[in-house]
Structure 1
Amino acid sequence: MARFLSWLLLDRDAGRRAAFVSVILIVVQAALLAAAAASDNALWLPGRDIGLLEHPGIPTILVADSVALALLGFAARRFLRLPGRLPVSDAPSSRRLLRRAVSRGRSVLLLRGRAGALFWFAAGVGTLFWLQNALQTRRALEFYGHDVFDSSAHPASYVVFRVVLWGSWAILYPYVAVAFLGISGTVYRATATLARRGRLTYRAFHPDRSGGYATIGDISFATIMAILALYTSLAVVIVTHHRLNILQISGLAILSVALVLLTFFIAWPVGRFMWRRQRRERRDNYRRLSRRPDEFAALSLMWIGSGTSYSPYAKYQVVLINGARLLPVVIAFARVAGAI
């Protein structure tokens, strides 16, 4: 397993491999479900019953699986490049600190040590949720008030979708959660340590227009979007069935907390450093300009205002992250109002 994970996430071009595997995953899952539902005559069902092609939650679940894996590959590649890309002072010791951090992160991605134990614990919890779902779906009419394509009345679809769900809930999601937790926690600790020691620097004319910190923004953005994909798939399932159960409530609670906290957590040390740097430069240049005409100070103020960003995120990332922060509130309000 470690060899496969290394090939998927840690070797050269591993990011592309993760994206390729995610495409294969969604194609295989969709083909198996379509074949099973066709054999059960459950692609469409009459009345209020929901066939495979009438269930909007199914494509969102499959897309969420694929997107989460692809984003993990993207984040892993950015994470492995941190020692050579993060702008730091006192280069030798700072680079050593980053290399040690990346080494710890690699161990998490390979599920070594406590990461492996955490994965198996999460897999066990996912399996318990899966068992409850399997029991509920056997009595779909009783539980949901209508039939669904993967109820026990459609045996091939029931078995195939249970296999798909177990792969997602007991293997993919636990691994993605542990991997992103390891990456985000390592990034936070490393950047917080560097910031505390005064070793973070800002490169005003860096091509990424984020002072050299776009890599941190990319890692944080990938983590948030992976959680958003899972959150969206669960929300669509709730809308489809118009009924909450303990699985959905638990999932919404966990993902809501993760979605809100991680939009601030990962990039917090870097974001705080950049905000303080921007405030200091504005203050210093304004004071210089107020004492006497100073073209350099004026140009610096113009550059701070429009030429560079004191944020690790690109503009489109800021828009999507702010939307992710609002989504749990919107879903909760809509649910209370009876709109979904």
Structure 2
Amino acid sequence: MAQLTAVLLACWWDNSWTISASGKFTEGGRGFLQHYGAWAILLTDPLLLVASGFLDRQFCVAILTLPARADRDAARAITRSLREYLPWVRGKGTAALFYALCLITGLFAWTYNVASTIDPLGALRHPIFAHHDVFDSGLHMRSFIAFKACLFLSWVVVYPIVGFKLVTIIIATRSILRRAEKHGLLQPRVEHPDGCYGLKNVGTLNIAILVPCLLAFFVMFALLVTHQMMYESILIPLIVVSTVFLVTSFIVIWPAQMVLWQARDKEFRDLAKSSRQPPPASDRDLFQFTARRFFFSAAKASPYSDTTKVIILAMRATPPVVSLAIHFFP
């Protein structure tokens, strides 16, 4: 709210709400009310922090609620894996170097933006100034100072935190699930009340991983719509975020999906074998067999419930659909 207030006051002072056409720029300008990218950055910053906090929480919930084998050794092994990676996810040890890299990258991007927009008519100007002015250029100094301060908070404070949390949790989740699959620590149960063999929280974790990527994608989409042109400083992040988004949506929880499919196939074989045998003699055995068939038909061989499956499909479709829309409807 403080960021938005500062930018609004600066735009009022500079009268940079809208920028009309002038002889200096062939397409006029993009005032604050015309700059969808600026609105997207200001609106998504708090959402990214909330999404990052939820991601951290869901990571712990998903790992601690994995359907481990009945013996204590399996549960202890999973807990040890979480304790091994949790300090790393929280930025301790060698992870601090990766956070420093994220911080330096954000600072470099911010410095480049400042240097390339402070003089829209200079030799080092940003490529967009070949076509139009923007409200946060050096020609509108108060708006320039206010919005660059907002960008500093976004690119040097918020984005490194979110990027660090996202990458470390992706690596930790994949490593823990792969270890659990390799050592046979998981035992998905068809009768689990979540209807997903006990892996529903893993599916929710995958959605939590994708949310920050989707928010970043919408920011870049808003910038493209605002400037109506493709340039390096938006093209490279767009490719990186889209690739990470589409790839991680499948590979991060793939080990858990493999274990789930194996559990479903085993349950199917057991039920098929029981069906070929004479009917159970006791009512208790008949009830157990009927209940197993019911649970098998109701459970989903997926870590996603019906609702989360719709959400994940919509999220996966968003980047290619929006990219095609940009291409065919510029």
Whole-Å separation in 2 of the counterparts to 1:225 and 1:102: 22
8 Å Cα contact 1:275/1:310 also seen in 2? yes
- Which among 8, 12, 16 is matched to residue 38 of structure 1? 12
8 Å Cα contact 2:190/2:264 also seen in 1? no
Deviation at 1:238, TM superposition (A): 0.5
2:164 counterpart residue number: 178
1:251 counterpart residue number: 237
1:319 counterpart residue number: 310
Structure 1 residues 316 and 33: CA distance shift in structure 2, 3 A: farther
**In the alignment, structure 1 residue 147 sits paired with structure 2 residue 133:** yes
Whole-Å separation in 2 of the counterparts to 1:281 and 1:105: 33
- Could you tell me which amino acid in structure 2 is paired with residue 38 of structure 1? W
1:304 counterpart residue number: 296
8 Å Cα contact 1:285/1:298 also seen in 2? no
Whole-Å separation in 2 of the counterparts to 1:208 and 1:165: 42
The structure that has the greater radius of gyration is: 2
Identity %: 24
1:1-340 correspondence runs (5 A): 27-46=1-20, 48-82=28-62, 84-89=64-69, 91-140=71-120, 143-144=127-128, 145-290=131-276, 300-305=292-297, 307-337=298-328, 339-340=329-330
8 Å Cα contact 1:140/1:148 also seen in 2? no
More divergent stretch after superposition (126-135 vs 150-159): 126-135
8 Å Cα contact 2:214/2:245 also seen in 1? yes
Whole-Å separation in 1 of the counterparts to 2:154 and 2:47: 12
More divergent stretch after superposition (270-279 vs 226-235): 270-279
Cα-to-partner distance string for 1:115-164 (whole Å, 9 max, x where unaligned): 11111112212222222222333355773212211111111211121122
Instruction: Judging by fraction of residues, say which structure has more helix.
Output: 1
Whole-Å separation in 1 of the counterparts to 2:39 and 2:289: 54
More divergent stretch after superposition (201-210 vs 252-261): 201-210
1:8 counterpart residue number: none
More divergent stretch after superposition (202-211 vs 119-128): 202-211
Cα-to-partner distance string for 1:199-257 (whole Å, 9 max, x where unaligned): 20123333322222222222211110111111111111111111111111111111011
Could you tell me which runs of 5 or more consecutive residues in structure 1 were left unpaired when the two chains were aligned: 1-26
Whole-Å separation in 1 of the counterparts to 2:166 and 2:198: 22
Deviation at 1:65, TM superposition (A): 1.9
Whole-Å separation in 2 of the counterparts to 1:293 and 1:45: 81
Whole-Å separation in 1 of the counterparts to 2:119 and 2:317: 35
Whole-Å separation in 2 of the counterparts to 1:214 and 1:228: 21
More divergent stretch after superposition (182-191 vs 238-247): 182-191
8 Å Cα contact 2:249/2:316 also seen in 1? yes
Report SS of the residue matched to 1:151: coil
Whole-Å separation in 1 of the counterparts to 2:238 and 2:264: 37
Could you tell me which runs of 5 or more consecutive residues in structure 2 were left unpaired when the two chains were aligned: 22-27, 281-285
Whole-Å separation in 2 of the counterparts to 1:219 and 1:105: 16
- Could you tell me which amino acid in structure 2 is paired with residue 35 of structure 1? L
Report SS of the residue matched to 1:130: helix
Report SS of the residue matched to 2:16: coil
Which has the higher relative contact order, 1 or 2, with Cα contacts under 8 A spaced 6 or more apart?
2
* TM-score computed with the length of structure 1 as normaliser: 0.83
Report SS of the residue matched to 1:248: helix
8 Å Cα contact 2:58/2:205 also seen in 1? yes
8 Å Cα contact 1:79/1:102 also seen in 2? no
Whole-Å separation in 2 of the counterparts to 1:315 and 1:62: 33
Structure 1 residues 199 and 64: CA distance shift in structure 2, 3 A: same
Cα-to-partner distance string for 1:67-107 (whole Å, 9 max, x where unaligned): 22112211212223456422201543333333333333332
Whole-Å separation in 1 of the counterparts to 2:103 and 2:50: 20
Report SS of the residue matched to 2:68: coil
- Could you tell me which amino acid in structure 2 is paired with residue 39 of structure 1? W
